[in-house]
Chain A
């Protein structure tokens, strides 16, 4: 079976633009997570979905960041008015359950804001 896939693999944009990053979780996984990994750092939690709803969005840095998962499968992370500090690798993960369940990570989208 396919693992978690993310598109695009690389995205270069200009400061102030809007971007969308897509995540396709493993089929049947109800939980989905977004993390952000800056250069030289470990991943940092952004948001967690259980089904269609965002169960915990406490890691989103500000209101320019938003994520959706309308049908409980594919998720899109949306960033408005991008800033240079948003440059990072955005990782998506999915799991069968939540508490203690193994999270399977995708390869990430490398976002570069010029």
Chain B
């Protein structure tokens, strides 16, 4: 069974601080996605990484896919209260890429 573990589970930081959240697995994924979910809403896709070692930037967010395609990280620079939410990583298994496997998420609170 392929599992994704996210850490930390909870993170409370002050506005302006930097943070990194991690997504780890013992399995290889063909691609890995990061989502943000707000209360009462479904997850919204932030980015998809496909190639081992790939780095993608989305404004203040930097995503990295591990060389072996088993892990990923999300780094936020100068966090803002609007970044508050649940961050989920999801892996697509190579043999059934539609069947996303989600981690349990990192709940981020950015205090003004």
Chain A residues close to B by CB (< 8 Å): 4, 31, 33, 35, 40-45, 48, 56, 58-59, 91, 93, 95, 98-108
The answer on a CB contact under 8 Å between B104 and A33 is: no
The answer on a CB contact under 8 Å between A4 and B42 is: yes
Q: A42-B104, A42-B105 are in contact. Are A56 and B99 (CB under 8 A)?
A: yes
Can you give 29 A-B contacts (C-beta < 8 A)? A33-B98, A35-B100, A41-B105, A42-B88, A42-B90, A42-B102, A43-B43, A43-B88, A43-B100, A43-B102, A48-B98, A56-B98, A56-B99, A58-B99, A93-B42, A95-B98, A98-B97, A99-B97, A99-B98, A100-B92, A101-B98, A102-B45, A103-B45, A103-B100, A105-B42, A107-B40, A107-B42, A108-B40, A108-B42
Instruction: Give the secondary structure class of B's interface.
Output: loop
Q: How many residues of B contact A (CB 8 A)?
A: 23
Distance A108 CA – B44 CA, assembled complex (angstroms): 13
Distance A98 CA – B100 CA, assembled complex (angstroms): 11
| A45 proximity list for chain B (CB < 8 A) | 99-101
- 12 more CB-based (< 8 A) A-B contacts, given A45-B99, A100-B48: A35-B102, A42-B88, A42-B90, A42-B102, A43-B102, A45-B100, A48-B99, A58-B99, A99-B97, A104-B45, A107-B41, A108-B42
Distance A52 CA – B96 CA, assembled complex (angstroms): 19
| B64 at the binding interface (Cβ < 8 Å) | no
| A95 proximity list for chain B (CB < 8 A) | 98
Q: Which residue of A lies closest to B31 (CB)?
A: A100
